[in-house]
Amino acid sequence: MLNTRKTMAVLHVATLNRPIRNDLGYGPIETVVYNLDKGLHELGHRSIVACSGDSQVVGEQFNTIEKSFAEYCTDHTLVKQEQMLRHLVMSLQRAKMGDIDVIHLHDADMVEYMFKGVCHSPVPIVMTLHVPAADHRGFTRWNETLMASSSAYFVPISEFQRSQHQGLVNGQKVIHHGIDVEDYPFNSHSSKHDYLFSIGRITPDKGQDIAIEIAKKTNSRLILAGNVQNKDKDREFFKKLKYSIDLVADMNQPFTGNDYYEDVIKPILDSDKQIIYIGEVDSVQKKMWYQHARATVFPIQWGEPFGLVLIESMACGTPVLAFDKGSVPEIVIHGKTGFVVDSIEHMAEAVKAIHLLDSSDCRQHVKDHFSITSMAGKYSDLYQWIVDERTLCQKTFPSVTGLSF
């Protein structure tokens, strides 16, 4: 089936918060852009990524600004607004060169510029809905403005998120995120260390305080990883969290491979501390923590639209203990690749049952359902359908030219 696809040229308009590369510690949207670019490239498509100059993509790189913003959450200063506008304008100028079939947007703010009439796209636009509807006021206005004949198409990343956007004009079928499973080291249950792992932005929504409670209830060691964003709510949450943390081992040195295991992981695990915070870790480091953990705890307090943590952990053969919220039940198979529970008490009970799960089942589940090949293939089919529909429309109504929302 893959061989029947036409070769497409896709221009990704990436986010600017962080560079698009494969070694990020935190950058969920940027990671998805990198993976999709890689997947499309491996399927034989032309994937062009409009991004900051400090990026490293697999396909073709089109630099619009010199450096990313570095911080994932920053104030929208005039300088940053000017950079975002420059990024969008240059991206659309690139699209007007005539060799692009589809623009793929990944930042809701970029669409806002288009709706304000600043820019007009020469080709159809696909936008992945990376954030919940409640996180962006523009979604409501888009739905009021768009017509079914619009050439803007919106892709939800889970059935849960799709339900949140119920009624959105030109909403498409769900396309789940995917990762390159071969990039994730695999450990069988017999080679795991005796600790639970929690990774994610330090914020009440992610439930690190609940993870600590679970660890104490089950007398388990807990490794907490994640960045504290420039938000008052998150900084205040971390300040309270510190009272329950026994050791802060925020290693800023760029350890890699065996050096990281010998110089960081092993000393931490050899200590007598129970609750340990290790700060933000890079891609290689987080995979090592996943790889050796008994389980990854995911006690979210909100409706997570997807949750890359879930598939990253399972790819390493590490089951997930998660609350039944958001997209979790779509991704984790209860009783096979983890336990999906509804209370702290049930999660504590699940910790005692981790040994009943097969690490191989976790990894195979990701291979079967959340690979970058699967993700890229589904987007490729969508791009082709959109282009074919547009071509048919132009043949049927030759007077219709240009695009409008």
Residue 304 sits in a domain whose CATH number is 3.40.50.2000
Q: Identify the band that residue 144 occupies on the pLDDT scale cut at 50, 70 and 90.
A: low
Give 133's DSSP letter. Answer: G
Mean confidence (pLDDT) of the chain: 88
115-133 core/surface letters (b: 16 or more CB in 10 A; e: else): eeeebebebbbbbbbbebb
**Is residue 223 a part of any domain in this protein?**
yes
**Is residue 404 a part of any domain in this protein?**
no
Position with higher pLDDT, 152 vs 76: 152
Same domain, 124 and 219: no
Q: Is a pLDDT exceeding 70 seen at residue 190?
A: no
Q: Copy the structure tokens of residue 158.
A: 């889970």
At 151, give phi and psi (nearest 5°): -105, 30
Residues 6+ apart with CB under 8 A from 373: 39, 42, 43, 178
Q: Is a pLDDT exceeding 50 seen at residue 405?
A: no
Q: Copy the structure tokens of residue 380.
A: 């490729």
Instruction: Give residue for tokens 């779509």.
Output: 330
Same domain, 289 and 345: yes
Same domain, 187 and 298: yes
**Is residue 335 a part of any domain in this protein?**
yes
Same domain, 347 and 273: yes
Same domain, 160 and 252: no
Q: Copy the structure tokens of residue 353.
A: 């049952």
Same domain, 197 and 342: yes
Write down the pLDDT at residue 108: 77
> Read out DSSP for 169-201?
TTB-------B-GGGS----GGG--SEEEEES-
Write down the pLDDT at residue 24: 84
352 close to 345: Cβ distance less than 8 angstroms: no
**Is residue 386 a part of any domain in this protein?**
yes
List the beta strands (DSSP E) in 249-345. 275-277, 295-298, 320-323, 338-341
Same domain, 344 and 383: no
User: What pLDDT, in 10s, does the model give residues 46-65?
Assistant: 999 999 999 999 999 999 99
348 close to 342: Cβ distance less than 8 angstroms: no
Write down the pLDDT at residue 347: 97
User: What pLDDT, in 10s, does the model give residues 352-404?
Assistant: 999 999 999 999 999 999 999 999 999 999 999 999 887 655 555 454 444 44
**Is residue 402 a part of any domain in this protein?**
no
Q: Strand 125-128 vs strand 152-155: parallel, antiparallel, or unpaired? A: parallel
Residues 6+ apart with CB under 8 A from 179: 35, 308, 311, 312, 315, 366, 370, 371, 372
Instruction: Give residue for tokens 């987080």.
Output: 286
CA distance 72 to 26: 8
**Is residue 403 a part of any domain in this protein?**
no
CA distance 161 to 132: 7
Q: How many C-alpha atoms does 385 have within 13 Å on its Cβ side?
A: 10
Same domain, 187 and 147: no
Same domain, 206 and 164: no
Q: Is a pLDDT exceeding 60 seen at residue 176?
A: yes
- Going from the C-alpha of 338 to that of each of 151, 206, 321, the distances in angstroms are 40, 18, 6
**Is residue 405 a part of any domain in this protein?**
no
Write down the pLDDT at residue 209: 97
Instruction: Give residue for tokens 């049930």.
Output: 346
**Is residue 401 a part of any domain in this protein?**
no
Same domain, 96 and 61: yes
Same domain, 163 and 204: no
Write down the pLDDT at residue 256: 61
Position with higher pLDDT, 231 vs 222: 222
Same domain, 230 and 280: yes
Q: How many domains does the chain have?
A: 2
Show the domain range for 293. 182-367
